[in-house]
Structure 1
Amino acid sequence: MTEEVAEEAVEQAPLLKLRDPHPVVMDDDAGLARAAAAIKAGTGPVAIDAERASGYRYSNRAYLIQIAREGAGNWLIDPIAMTSMAPLIDALDGTEWVLHAATQDLPCLGELGLHPAALFDTELAGRLLGYPRVGLGTLTEEVLGWRMLKEHSAADWSTRPLPEAWLEYAALDVEVLVELRDAMHDELIAADKWTWAQQEFESLLSFQPAVRVEPWRRTSGAHSVRTRRGLAVVKALWEARDDIAQDRDCTPGRLIPDSAIIAAALAEPASRGQLLGTKGFHGRGAKTYIDIWMSAIDHALTQDEEELPERTPRASGPPQPRAWADRDETAARRLDTARAGITAMAEANNLPPENLLQPDAMRRLLWEPPTTRDPGDLLDDVVGRLQWSGARPWQIAMTASLLTDAILSADH
């Protein structure tokens, strides 16, 4: 062992291990009842995590739920096997949840009828506190001094039975989550940011995933398709693939990758043989669903011109910032001034600029600002617009005057 490696080994944080014997997965209604009773009898916040099968399944459903609470221990629950989640819903009623990256888990937990009355998001707390990296493993090591292994984070959690090593990994995700919450709570108070955090956590209680408009346009490589007819092929193949993936509950890319869709759109094949012979058209489902792919392509190639998708979708908001100077020089000055102010204020408060104010909210306000230039009325209008955009009170208090000044100064 070299001297450098030896020194690194000495400085490495101790590996986090389970304090109690490895929890057994509760995979029937009787097991869920036992878990729920123990959790309900526990005290304090409840650490919760969920494992999905991203990259393997179409759905975003939870395939494993991990829960830990003081006095209750650490529990693993298989929601797929349950006829009803009612016992757990009752046990969690009125409790504070502790999650890491809550927006990832809240949707799949909500599908099971599990909704928090209050929550603490350790990832969001890390951002507000200015930690440069906010992954669970990094924060656990930085704040608590425990090292976590993350080797199974991309596993197929729909696998049954779940391997023993995966179960230990899953249980460790909630093993010290409440301790991490308590330590970060103290840090937020010491940094005078607890009110900010409370408002952020409150906003998460009504979180809903964004609905993508024309999601097929996010096909990787779509920018290389230059014709509307070619884009129609991209759209038709993407939608056909999505329908199959949803029916089979598998990730669309496991049927044919985005690159295969683009290859077909550029080639515009006229027969199954031409499609299968197209360079780049491949995938597990390339031959299996060849009739469906060809039908989609035929439909796109025979569509009336007026039905074809536009090359550039109609934007519902302001243009990209790089285009502002050409479109509206005054708006560009407003944006430059505001950006500089937001960046400086964020640095002074040790947090990322996007957590001080969402960039989209700032751009929408500055592209089409209120018409009044009376300083008092303008400030009132800016506050109202920020409230409408979903900005929290602490964000508005810190940025409304700055944005008002940016609007006024750009006009001169």
Structure 2
Amino acid sequence: MDGSLDFKTLRESLQAALVATTRTANSIASEDLQFQRTVNPTVGSQLDNSSGRLLNLANGLLKSTANLTGQKVGTLEDADDVDIQWRNIVDVIDSLLEKADTCLDEYTGLIKRKDVPTPADQGRAQKRVKSSNDRLEWSLKRANILKPQNNFERKVDNFAAGPWKPLLSSKPHAKVSLEDSLTTFVDDDNNTQYKHPYETEIKTTPYPEHVYKKREPKEFLPIDSTSAVWIDTYEGVLEMLEELKQAKEIALDLEHHDFRSYTGLLSLMQISTREKDWVIDTLQPWRHKLEVLNEVFADPKIVKVLHGAFMDAIWLQRDLGLYLVGLFDTYHACAVLGYPGRSLGYLLSKFAEFEADKKYQLADWRIRPLPEEMFYYARSDTHYLLYIYDMLVNELIERSTPGKPKPDLLEQVLERSKDVALQRYENPSYNVETGMGPRGWYNVLLKSPTLYNSEQFAVYKAVHQWRDNLARREDESPFFFMTQQVLADIARILPTDKKALWSILDSNAKGLKSHLDHLFDVIQKAREEGVDGPKMMDIFKSDSSIIAPSKRAAVISDDSDIPDVKELKADRSQFWGGVTLSSVWDGTAAKTAKLDGMLEITLPYPADFMDGTATEMEVDQPEEEAPAPQPEPEQVVVNQEFTLRSGGKRKREEESEEEEEASDAEIEDSSAPHTETDAQTGGEAEGDDSDEEEEEEEEEASDKSSKKSKKAAKEKKKQDKEALRAQRRVEKAAKKEAKKKAQEEAAAAAKQAEGEEGEKKDQPFDYSQAASVLRARKTQEDVKKQNKRFNPYGNKGQDGPKGARAHYSAKAAGRTATFKK
């Protein structure tokens, strides 16, 4: 390439070449290459050569790009591999383009490089700027270093079964000896576990008196004027221990790593007093000797201040054999005080005006030597914590209930802190069949929306167990080999060959390449065994059989005295009071009806379909005062539809018919009480005249006479109804005529008033003489408007119907070509 060409000419030539190449590739893709290969054999050989050359170029480009971005893509052997690894290829190209954009922006000055802040530039006078938008570099998040656990003098057993035994070799500040403390018990899951060795000391030892007293908060020293000591030797630990024994309270924080270890690694420990900060390397081969710190950690006279110490207490037990007596958890102080935020970053911002860069929480804390920015972050977590502790204690005392010997809010925080310190570490295990346990699959599938059949469920369990065993053997996290999403995809897709299995694995599963054959065999074997196996829902349905034995109530074997139920029966209902029970629910009603043989009386009650006989029962009820009459509920007026203008002649006739029907209903309602009274009167007369010795013939005669009387009454009621209806029609016509006459007189008076000369004064509106709005009559103008028809040949914007809203400001003329005369 000629060096005299400027950048503009070079860019134009490159763009022209790329455009020509893209156009040619698109034109080739639109052709039927398979047909051309079949017709002309020479074309097939040319296509094979071109495909091989393109694959070589693509492999070289991806390899160089992956080395630059720290990613990895498999070799493309054929065109199918491009589709299989398309996701990884896109990730690599995107990373390359992002780096190119960043370099161009930095070169043009659009963005500037950010220098790493040093601890000397920080302090309360100059706040540390929070850079949460900056992403942590991959080298700091997933460092490729040798495993430090391989050099530990005390190795970790990932396959340990049974209860986990505490690592204590001595017990400072003990109330109960170490031998008596290391006892076992059976937990709720019927597993044998060791008790907490400092359980008695934590529960019974009181906090120092100065904890309950209000104090003047001691201002923290500027972070640049205090010393931070890095300790990576046992001698340095002993020197630090002597200084810690002189303090009344210390601040403590931990940094943990769990990606390249099965159980996890306590990687760093930060301790601060009022005057000094220490950062201890806990990945040294002699890390088990840090148990000597129990002389301070288990001392109840020294308050240990931590924030969110739930996992910290477990990590200290598991890796170093350290226990916390006299813990004060600032997280629970935030909860009791009702702060809107409960994180350490919130407390640092509220009390110390310090903004912490929390992106280093996800950093790989195994890195040695520790970068300066990570060292500063670790130190700042505990540097301000004692001042925050003073502020929280004072506020807890101020907001506690006065008059009590000890502040109640402060007591709540201390009790919760004791519960945190009493947490115990247990070996990570699980039941392969049921999935129960801290490393089991049961809780994961319980929250998963996917339902697996028998084959998929068998593959899921088999791959989950295989991954767990591999992680224990290699001392890696199970997610280092296979994420939960990849495990679910394998069970859902059920790959049929190794290439399909490799396509499911993500780019981070590079550690499985040497185990791919074994994993494929596990999947095939699980599919064969899972044909007749249980489904996932079968396990969830049998959940009660899994957990029931541990929660089943004890069965009483002896026969205890059962109290007499009759003695516990009340004579009167507490809910119904003295209300007489219905005969429908009383079994004696049928017996009384058979004995008395009383005449049936048909009553319009809803209970009539339950029992055909209505008899009187004599029920012994206690004499009580009649209940006060309950007020009748107000009738709710139902909203009905109405129109502002009445219809034409047909509509008015329908309304008059509805009014007549309504009047008929009123007549029936008014006549109903008389009919019921007559029936009851007749029934009572017949009941009085009846005798038990009357013959059946007399009863039949009385029935016939009653039927005739009912028929006559019905005819009379019909005649009355017709007469009343006619009377109402006459009255209604008279009312309409009078109303019409009144309206005409009012209109005439109004016209006369308008014609008179004189002083015009405002007159109040007379609503009594106003025309009806709901039943208004149509005028001639309304009829004309209604009869006006649409002219399709006129202007669309003037004669046509108007739309809901105008989309254009100008009125467009309508099209006339679609209308023909």
For residue 60 of structure 1, what is the aligned residue in structure 2?
A: 264
Structure 1 stretches of 5 or more lacking a match?
Answer: 1-11, 318-412
Asked if 1 retains the 8 angstrom alpha-carbon contact of 2:458 and 2:530, the reply is no
Is the CA contact 1:46–1:98 (under 8 Å) kept in the aligned structure 2?
yes
Matched, 1:123 2:235: no
Counterpart in 2 of 1:177? 385
Residue 66 of structure 1 contacts residue 75 of structure 1 at CA under 8 Å; is this kept in 2?
A: yes
User: 1:203 aligned to 398, 419, 423, which one?
Assistant: 419
Does 1:291 find its partner at 2:517?
yes
Query: Displacement, 1:104?
Result: 2.1
Structure having the higher Rg:
2
Tell me if the contact between 2:452 and 2:535 (Cα under 8 Å) persists in the aligned partners: no
| Aligned equivalent of 2:462, options 236, 247, 257 | 236
Q: Deviations over 1:347-383 (max 9, x none)?
A: xxxxxxxxxxxxxxxxxxxxxxxxxxxxxxxxxxxxx
Please state which structure has a larger fraction of its residues in helix: 1
Matched with 1:15 is: 127
Deviation string, structure 1 residues 143-169 (Cα, Å, up to 9, x no partner):
343332323111011222221221111
Corresponding residue number in structure 1 for 2:527? 301
Residues 246, 279 of structure 1: alpha-carbon distance in 2 compared, 3 angstrom cutoff = closer
Distance 2:270 2:473 in 1: 28
Number of aligned positions between the proteins = 304
The aligned residue for residue 51 of structure 1 is 255
Paired with 1:30 and 1:279, the residues of 2 have a C-alpha distance of 48
Paired residue type of 1:252:
P
Distance 1:288 1:128 in 2: 53
Q: CA shift at 1:51, angstroms?
A: 0.3
Q: Which of 361, 372, 379 does residue 153 from structure 1 map onto?
A: 361
Which of these residues, 253, 257, 267, is aligned with residue 479 of structure 2?
A: 253
Instruction: Determine the C-alpha separation between the residues in 2 that align with 1:246 and 1:164.
Output: 33
Q: Which residue of the other structure, out of 63, 70, 75, is the alignment partner of 2:278?
A: 75
1:119 is displaced (CA, Å) by 0.5
* Alpha-carbon contact 1:74-1:175 (below 8 Å) kept: yes
Alignment partners' CA distance in 1, 2:315 and 2:506:
35
Mapped to 1, the partners of 2:298 and 2:424 lie a distance apart of 20
| Equivalent of 2:313 in 85, 106, 128 | 106
The alignment partner of 2:362 has SS state of coil
Normalising by structure 1, what TM-score? 0.66
Amino acid at match of 1:106: A
CA distance in 1, matches of 2:333, 2:243: 28
* AA partner of residue 173 (structure 1): D
Distance 2:269 2:504 in 1: 44
The amino acid that maps onto 1:177 is L
- Name the structure 2 match of 1:35: 240
Aligned mates of 2:466, 2:511 — CA distance in 1: 12
Query: Structure 2: how far apart are the matches of 1:282 and 1:263?
Result: 15
How many Å separate the matches in 2 of 1:61 and 1:144? 30
Percent pairwise identity: 24
**Greater relative contact order structure (CA < 8 Å, 6+ sep):** 1
SS in 1 for 2:520: helix
Amino acid at match of 1:15: K
Where 1:81 maps in the other structure, the secondary structure is coil
Q: Does 2:376 align with 1:168?
A: yes
How far has the Cα of 1:222 moved from its partner? Answer: 4.5
Partner Cα separation in structure 1 for residue 544 and residue 422 of structure 2: 24
Equivalent position amino acid for 1:110 in 2: Q
Q: Which amino acid aligns with 1:100?
A: H
Question: In the superposition, relative to structure 1, how do residues 204 and 159 fare at CA in structure 2: closer, same or farther (>3 Å)?
Answer: same
Contact 2:253 2:381 in 1 (8 A): yes
Shift of 1:68: 1.0
Shift in CA distance, 22/70, structure 1 to aligned 2, threshold 3 Å: closer
* Matched-pair contact (CA < 8 Å) for 1:237–1:296: yes
1:231 maps to amino acid: F
Mean Cα deviation higher: 267-276 or 133-142? 267-276
Shift of residue 45 of structure 1?
Answer: 1.4
Alpha-carbon contact 2:298-2:326 (below 8 Å) kept: no
Query: 1:10-57: per-residue Cα shift (whole Å, max 9, x none)?
Result: xx99526624455242112122222222222x3111211110114454
